[in-house]
């Protein structure tokens, strides 16, 4: 008997089925919808500028795209690590099984990476890549030269054509991003036997919390990167992003409320088990972290910042505080869905306990490593494809 199973066995409460003792979908599976949500959210921030023409958020457009790519590259890692046999991940591509909801992620992911993000990034950056290829030397210059694909045409017509491609791809990309994360909610929402998961609202709730976390992440990265670069924050951009964060938050909160109201109004079988799950087993992660610290406090902070009572310099810290709480709160939401749904027994008469090891597979250290990885990827991407709107060398001469 494995050590975790033995420990969990001793903490079983009430009557549960034998296969419910060990919580098999671990912290890694909670991390997976979290990272995927950040991808979808960051892409939606990018499309604010492209589709909805919100000019104020322009400084974060490329940053949001790069963030989406960095997190997208890390998104399958929790799943692959959880799988144990990494090489088997390719089976869903090699022998695609169209009725498997789980395999769906492979297709949605491949579509989103290949048909949306890479397209949009490449044609958005093409003009700059060509310019960098002519400016830079060494390894970096070599990489840019490869990336130009041998086409140095950056005439007005070419740039306009690039822009047209990006616009089309963004229009395709928005529903794709929604689908990417709606899919994750669908996986949980369509598990009929689990009262805590089974709900048609699940994909929509996941989508809105994804937008919340994505906007918060882009805002936080934008503030942090400006600090690192020693550049003034664009006030309009920061405030506009914070406003969108607030709107997304209000929608997210009302959806969450609707879900809980539905659960408690219909009083379906298993509601007593859910009541204990919320009030006792997940009191800290659900009531305290997700609802209070992760939702109500950031909403309060954002509303307070919006009133304009405080100056931008203080508002900035309110935003930092609110976004960090948001990121923690949204992770708590994923945790409460993934882990919470497994703590509750299908007998409705008992609970198991989740034990998270410090090291080894499915451990907190592995989850942390996977969580840090996208930031490293992002740092490399930012070095290679600077998202800041800086003039090129010869443009600088002209400007002077």
Contacts with another protein, residue ranges (CB under 8 A): 9, 12, 16-18, 21, 93-95, 97-99, 114, 119, 122, 126, 148-151, 153, 158, 161-162, 165
Secondary structure tally for the chain: helices H, strands E? 16, 2
C-beta closer to another protein: residue 12 or 271: 12
If the CB atoms of residues 15 and 257 are measured against another protein, the closer one turns out to be 15
- Please answer whether residues 391 and 135 qualify as being in contact, where contact means their C-beta atoms are separated by less than 8 angstroms: no
Query: For residue 191, which of 375, 366, 344, 386 has the smallest C-alpha distance?
Result: 344
- CB 58 to another protein: min, Å: 24
Q: Which is nearer to another protein, 154 or 271 (CB)?
A: 154
Strands 13-15 and 349-351: antiparallel
> Considering beta carbons, is residue 13 or 243 the nearer one to another protein?
13
Count Cβ atoms below 10 Å from residue 135 Cβ, excluding itself.
Answer: 14
Nearest distance from residue 105's CB to another protein, in Å? 17
Q: How far apart are CA 133 and CA 304, in angstroms?
A: 47
Structure tokens given for 217: 């992440």
CB 367 within 8 A of CB 78: yes
95 versus 307: smaller Cβ distance to another protein: 95
To the nearest whole angstrom, how small is the minimum distance from the Cβ of residue 99 to another protein? 5
Q: Which is nearer to another protein, 8 or 221 (CB)?
A: 8
CB 348 to another protein: min, Å = 16
Minimum CB separation of residue 151 from another protein in Å reads: 4
The 3-state secondary structure of 85-127 reads: CHHHHHHHHHCCCCCCCCCHHHHHHHHHHHHHHHHHHHHHHHH
Query: Could you tell me the smallest distance in angstroms from the CB atom of residue 150 to another protein?
Result: 7
> What is the distance between the alpha carbons of residues 66 and 60, in angstroms, rounded to a whole number?
10
């Amino acid at each position: 008997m494995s050590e975790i199973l033995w420990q969990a066995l001793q903490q079983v409460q009430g009557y549960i089925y034998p296969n419910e003792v060990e919580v098999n979908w671990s912290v890694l599976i909670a991390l997976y919808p979290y990272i995927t949500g950040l991808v979808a959210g960051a892409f939606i921030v990018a499309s604010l500028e492209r589709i909805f023409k919100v000019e104020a958020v322009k400084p974060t457009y490329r940053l949001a795209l790069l963030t989406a790519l960095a997190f997208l590259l890390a998104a399958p890692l929790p799943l692959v690590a959880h799988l144990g046999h990494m090489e088997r991940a390719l089976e869903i591509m090699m022998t695609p099984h169209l009725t498997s909801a789980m395999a769906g992620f492979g297709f949605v992911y491949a579509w989103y990476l290949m048909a949306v993000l890479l397209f949009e990034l490449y044609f958005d950056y093409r003009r700059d890549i060509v310019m960098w290829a002519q400016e830079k030397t060494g390894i970096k210059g070599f990489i840019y030269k490869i990336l130009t694909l041998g086409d140095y045409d950056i005439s007005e017509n070419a740039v306009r054509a690039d822009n047209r491609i990006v616009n089309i791809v963004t229009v395709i990309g928005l529903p794709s991003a929604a689908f990417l994360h709606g899919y994750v909610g669908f996986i949980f929402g369509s598990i009929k036997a689990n009262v805590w998961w089974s709900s048609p609202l699940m994909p929509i709730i996941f989508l809105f919390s994804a937008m919340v976390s994505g906007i918060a992440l882009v805002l936080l990265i934008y503030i942090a990167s400006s600090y690192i670069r020693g550049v003034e924050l664009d006030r309009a951009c920061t405030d506009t992003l914070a406003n969108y964060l607030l709107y997304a938050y209000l929608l997210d909160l009302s959806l969450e409320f609707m879900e809980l109201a539905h659960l408690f109004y219909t009083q379906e079988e298993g509601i007593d088990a859910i009541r204990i799950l919320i009030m006792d087993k997940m009191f800290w992660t659900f009531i305290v972290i997700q609802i209070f610290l992760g939702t109500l406090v950031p909403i309060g902070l954002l509303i307070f910042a919006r009133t304009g009572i405080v100056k931008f310099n203080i508002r900035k810290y309110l935003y930092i505080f609110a976004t960090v709480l948001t990121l923690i709160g949204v992770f708590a939401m994923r945790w409460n869905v993934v882990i919470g749904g497994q703590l509750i027994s299908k007998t409705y008469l008992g609970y198991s306990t989740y034990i998270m090891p410090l090291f080894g597979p499915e451990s907190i250290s592995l989850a942390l490593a996977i969580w840090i990885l996208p930031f490293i990827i992002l740092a490399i991407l930012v070095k290679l494809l600077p998202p800041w709107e800086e003039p090129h060398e010869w443009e600088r001469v002209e400007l002077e």
